[in-house]
Structure 1
Amino acid sequence: MATLVEFPNRTVRVNAVLDAPMSRWLWLVKWILVVPHLVVLAFLWIAFAVVSVIAFFAILFTERYPRPLFDFNLGVLRWSWRVAYYSYSALGTDRYPPFSLGEEPEYPTRLDIVYPQRLSRGLVLVKWWLLAIPHYIVLGFFLGGVRLGWWTGGLVGVLTVIAAVIMAFTEKYPKDLFDLVVGLNRWCLRVTAYVALMTDEYPPFRLDMGGTEPVEPEELS
């Protein structure tokens, strides 16, 4: 009998590659190095919020998320995730993140969200607050709080600090720890895309660890 392998989340995809080798001590000053990004992202996240409100009404009346608005908000999420990956949400690379809203395929992490052709008018009224409440509780533990798309606290922050200390003494980022950190961030990004009205696909309560998203459905004998 052939069995079907379930693909856990096809709409939001997060892939990451752990760079090696990495500096033992650069992580100590990354908080300074990312300041220019944080300044720009502060303005971008204000725009993100405004665009999301406009998209809310567009979906409510037309069932469509205007493509230019979708691409802009996806760009903000991509930029934020690259900065987070470089700094204290993962410390997965020493490559300085580009100032870009684009895909940047050469950077060691990518975030892709499939553009939805139609979105539910009913869900747009409740998914960003009511339906997402269980995830908000979980993410409060994972992140400890989010400000302007920037997350460094909670469990993710603790694990990243542990990874930094291990790297300082061994020059190696433990793979199991990296897989867990990326999995936690993947969960957070899926929820972010959902509450930002960019998908109707409810985020699974599942920790998909590792740098690579699970494969497409296929039949295995």
Structure 2
Amino acid sequence: MSSTIPANTRAPTPEVQPYPIQVHARRDDALSRWLWLVKWLLIVPHVLILIPLWIAFSVLSLVALVAILITGHYPRPLFDFNVGVMRWSWRVGYYAYNALGTDRYPPFALREIPGYPAGLNVEYPARLHRGLVLVKWLLAIPHLLIVGILFSGSAWLSRQAGGEIWSWGGGGLVALLVLIAGIVLAVTGQYPRPLFDLILGLNRWGLRVAGYTALMTDRYPPFRLDPGGDDPGGVTAPSSGPSVRSGADSG
């Protein structure tokens, strides 16, 4: 005697546990064919502001390190500010040469902007391991080697250490893929969806590693490429209306 299994019965798919650093984005339906050629000039005002903000980010990260060593907590005002700097940088990178995903000019703000096509949310940690903050940079070396290739090697690493805007670009696999996307956009007027999804996944990987090395979470970043605008198990890509805001909003 044989038993049959209903055709519509499937093995349960394990849910992806949301990572505390969530990156989401929505590709514009219509993108200019040629605007991407001058976005380097258009983002200059943002870069001039973000450079001192990243210097402050580095200083406050050192202050947070001491605070975590003593108390096991990341001071919330410092956390909100640093998340805001990363969020602002991601919007600029998404507009410019980390993705070319939108022609909407990025707002000058640390807080999450409802309705903007790109956003970043970081879950505030209730408590952090005191001793782990001293070795996270060492534990992250395998990721740093990978992400260094994605975002131009030593240039990306120096930006992490020096606190500059890492999304400024500077070569690597992501820059090459974005260049291909720009050329295809100029020729066809379309941004290929598979290419967009891949670029978003690579950026998401880099931002997770950046948040981990900035002491924002004790959860080790996964060695996993999560493509597309929706962060698996977490925040979805924003629609044209108001978006979900995280508890890490500031500014």
SS in 2 for 1:112: strand
Offset of residue 9 of structure 1: 3.7
Query: Distance between the aligned counterparts of 1:40 and 1:80, measured in 2?
Result: 10
Q: Which residue of 1 aligns with 2:237?
A: none
Query: Distance between the aligned counterparts of 1:166 and 1:184, measured in 2?
Result: 19
Gaps of 5+ in 2: 1-9, 235-251
Offset of residue 23 of structure 1: 0.3
Equivalent in 12, 25, 28 of residue 19 of structure 1: 28
Query: Distance between the aligned counterparts of 1:52 and 1:150, measured in 2?
Result: 16
Offset of residue 122 of structure 1: 1.6
Scaled by the length of structure 2, what TM-score is found?
Answer: 0.83
Query: Distance between the aligned counterparts of 2:118 and 2:68, measured in 1?
Result: 30
Residue identity in the other structure for 2:79: F
Indicate the larger mover: 4-13 or 98-107: 4-13
Equivalent in 68, 74, 78 of residue 77 of structure 2: 68
Query: Distance between the aligned counterparts of 2:194 and 2:48, measured in 1?
Result: 33
Q: Which residue of 2 aligns with 1:42?
A: 51
Q: What is the CA deviation profile of residues 134-168 of structure 1, one whole-angstrom value per residue up to 9, with x for unaligned ones? A: 01100111000323122322000000000000000
Query: Distance between the aligned counterparts of 2:216 and 2:165, measured in 1?
Result: 15
Q: What is the CA deviation profile of residues 108-138 of structure 1, one whole-angstrom value per residue up to 9, with x for unaligned ones? A: 01100000010001211101x2101001100
Equivalent in 184, 192, 204 of residue 186 of structure 1: 204
Identity, in percent, stands at: 59
SS in 2 for 1:130: helix
Contact 2:16 2:233 in 1 (8 A): yes
SS in 2 for 1:78: helix
Q: Counterparts of 1:102-113 in structure 2 under 5 Å?
A: 102-113=111-122
Residue identity in the other structure for 1:192: A
Query: Distance between the aligned counterparts of 1:12 and 1:96, measured in 2?
Result: 24
Equivalent in 88, 93, 98 of residue 97 of structure 2: 88
Whether 1:133 aligns to 2:133 is no
SS in 1 for 2:79: helix
Q: Which residue of 1 aligns with 2:65?
A: 56
Offset of residue 10 of structure 1: 2.6
Contact 1:9 1:204 in 2 (8 A): no
Scaled by the length of structure 1, what TM-score is found?
Answer: 0.94
SS in 2 for 1:65: coil
Whether 1:79 aligns to 2:88 is yes
Equivalent in 194, 215, 226 of residue 208 of structure 1: 226
Q: What is the CA deviation profile of residues 69-120 of structure 1, one whole-angstrom value per residue up to 9, with x for unaligned ones? A: 0000000000000000000000000000000000112110110000001000
SS in 2 for 1:194: helix
Residue identity in the other structure for 1:79: W
Residue identity in the other structure for 2:165: G
Offset of residue 214 of structure 1: 1.3
Query: Distance between the aligned counterparts of 1:78 and 1:97, measured in 2?
Result: 11
| Superposition RMSD in Å | 1.3
Query: Distance between the aligned counterparts of 1:186 and 1:179, measured in 2?
Result: 10
Larger radius of gyration: 2
Contact 1:8 1:204 in 2 (8 A): no
Contact 1:37 1:83 in 2 (8 A): yes
Whether 1:150 aligns to 2:158 is no
Query: Distance between the aligned counterparts of 1:10 and 1:100, measured in 2?
Result: 24
Residue identity in the other structure for 2:91: R
Offset of residue 2 of structure 1: 6.3
Contact 1:79 1:99 in 2 (8 A): yes
Q: Which residue of 2 aligns with 1:219?
A: none
Q: Which residue of 2 aligns with 1:198?
A: 216
Query: Distance between the aligned counterparts of 1:59 and 1:115, measured in 2?
Result: 13
